[in-house]
Amino acid sequence: MLLNIRDLKTYFPGRKQYLFSKPEQVKAIDGVTISIEEGETLGLVGESGSGKSTLGKAIVNLVTKTGGTVMFKDFADEKHQSNSGKIQMVFQDPLASLNPRMTVGNAISEVLKYHRIVPKDKILQRVKALFRMVELSPDLIFNYPHQFSGGQRQRIGIARALAVNPELIICDEVVSALDVSIQAQIINLLKRLQIDQGIAYLFISHDLAVVRQIAHRIAVLYCGRIVEIGRTDEIISSPMHPYTQALFSVASESNSGSVSMISTEVANPANPPDGCHFHPRCPIANNSGNFIGACSSVDPDLKKKSGGRMVACHQI
Ligand SMILES: Nc1ncnc2c1ncn2[C@@H]1O[C@H](COP(=O)(O)OP(=O)(O)OP(=O)(O)O)[C@@H](O)[C@H]1O
Ligand code: SF4
Ligand SMILES: [Mg+2]
């Protein structure tokens, strides 16, 4: 097991209802338990605001965990695991955070120096090798961030992540801003790197069409909780949770693969509904405004189904 996450919680302080009241808590991640195997891609899908980015950031300690544990291999010490560089995160625009007056080659050299990956006299050679690894000409290391196209920026973001020989890369909407043909190139690059170097990915996307191209398994997040997780082929061919079913039918109707279009409102993580957070939107539970069984009162646990699938629903 490469990554083992148990009951992870990340709560943010939200707005104050009244001037002197305590701020409400935004339960962005509220008890997530998942694992990722070596060399595996786990896709993470859900509507906007479901907590996908927060989960990725909590794994690399970019946001504070409120509870739970993140175990990476045999590193018991969480500080050590985040400093080791073995888990990297790549964002939608990975060059946005770079100094615009520094060449991208120098930016990657800084990473190599910080982590002491190679001796000083081998740094230039290593930066060029990283560019070749992501199928970019090594001559481009002398360019500045603004001189690259969207697809090239993403390749450089991946090269920067690869600089520290990671075993897991968290890809947060890495192809969402790209044209479909460029998306396919980046997906193929990630797949090739996985085969060559055995890297695992947590692949976060709101686009199911993209996720199904790369993920071995898919986890579906709703209001900070995993509602379904299983093998990609099984989840795509027979989604079980009513939320997964709704996401997939909307995505196929819209033909865009996007999951941000279910008509009723997403649950608010600052004030989630009691019981199953999905119950006000659930077509199975809602019988003309009366909710069946425990749906509106008891939070369903993830339960094992056939083929290793897990689903959190009282009615399945
Ligand atoms: N730093 C923060 N402070 C307060 N609330 C936050 C913070 N970051 C995220 N949130 C809230 O946590 C919830 C989950 O946000 P998150 O960005 O993880 O969702 P997401 O699934 O990545 O959405 P998207 O698809 O739009 O990127 C949202 O309600 C968001 O407003
Ligand atoms: S537990 Fe009830 S409300 Fe939640 S998804 Fe299942 S049927 Fe719908
Ligand atoms: Mg996000």
Q: Which domains does the chain have, with CATH numbers?
A: 3-95+148-241 (3.40.50.300)
**What's the confidence (pLDDT) of residue 110?**
95
Distance 267 CA to ligand 3 centre (A): 16
For 194, the token pair is 């996985």
**What's the confidence (pLDDT) of residue 226?**
98
Q: What is the mean pLDDT of residues 113-122?
A: 93
**What's the confidence (pLDDT) of residue 260?**
45
Residue 316 has pLDDT above 80, yes or no: yes
Atom of ligand 1 nearest to the CA of 224: 14
Q: With H, G, I as helix, E, B as strand and everything else as coil, classify residue 290.
A: strand
Distance 219 CA to ligand 1 centre (A): 17
Residue nearest to ligand 1 atom 11, measured at CA:
28
**What's the confidence (pLDDT) of residue 97?**
85
Is the CB of residue 267 below 6 angstroms from any atom belonging to ligand 2? no
Q: Residue 261 — pLDDT band, cuts 50, 70, 90?
A: very low
| Cα(194)–Cα(177) distance, integer angstroms | 22
Residue 84 has pLDDT above 70, yes or no: no
Is the CB of residue 109 below 6 angstroms from any atom belonging to ligand 1? no
For 113, the token pair is 């120096």
Is the CB of residue 315 below 6 angstroms from any atom belonging to ligand 2? yes
Atom of ligand 1 nearest to the CA of 270: 29
Is the CB of residue 12 below 6 angstroms from any atom belonging to ligand 1? yes
Q: With H, G, I as helix, E, B as strand and everything else as coil, classify residue 108.
A: helix
Is the CB of residue 240 below 6 angstroms from any atom belonging to ligand 2? no
Residue 312 has pLDDT above 70, yes or no: yes
Is the CB of residue 269 below 6 angstroms from any atom belonging to ligand 1? yes
Residue 206 has pLDDT above 80, yes or no: yes
| Cα(119)–Cα(154) distance, integer angstroms | 27
Distance 46 CA to ligand 1 centre (A): 12
Residue 255 has pLDDT above 60, yes or no: no
Q: What is the mean pLDDT of residues 262-287?
A: 85
Residue 283 has pLDDT above 90, yes or no: no
Is the CB of residue 285 below 6 angstroms from any atom belonging to ligand 2? yes
Half-sphere exposure of 276 (CA within 13 A, CB side): 28
Residues 20-47 pLDDT 10s: 777 789 999 999 999 999 999 999 999 9
Distance 274 CA to ligand 1 centre (A): 20
Q: What is the dihedral of CA 206, 208, 212, 218, to 10 degrees?
A: 60
Task: Look up residue 9 and give its amino acid.
Answer: K
Q: Which ligand is nearest to the CA of 302?
A: 2
pTM of the model: 0.94
Least confident among 19-28, 151-160, 175-184: 19-28
Whole-number percent of the chain with pLDDT over 70 = 92
DSSP state of 258: B
